Amino acid sequence: MNQRKRYAAPTPPFQPWHPNQFRRCSRSLACFNLIVARQSILQGIEEELEERCLELTTQGKALEASRLRQRTENDVLLLRMVDTCRGIENYSRHLSR
């Protein structure tokens, strides 16, 4: 007798900071704390970016402000997606909270 094996649909790869991650582990207080901590870290980085860009712009250094904004926004995007980026040590003050 030739029986076919039934295959389950493949599960999506685990994404540590995916927006739906909270729904997957909503019963876990530890998971909630990690997500809140991550959001506050990224928010702190973005707030400092705004302050520094404003400072550079008022000094007449628009090119430096633009470059800083571009690099930092790229780093924040990578931190959201894969939890790391090149030069992550530049954000150690925010990550050590």
pLDDT at 10: 54
Structural domain of 67:
28-95
> 8 lies in a domain?
no
Number of domains in the chain: 1
Distance CA 4, CA 15 (A): 32
* CA separation for the pair 32, 36 (Å, rounded): 6
Report yes or no on 59 lying in a domain. Answer: yes
Low-confidence ranges of the chain (pLDDT < 50): 22, 26-27
pLDDT of residue 33: 63
Residue 13 lies in a domain: no
**pLDDT value of residue 6:** 60
Report if residue 90 sits inside a domain.
Answer: yes
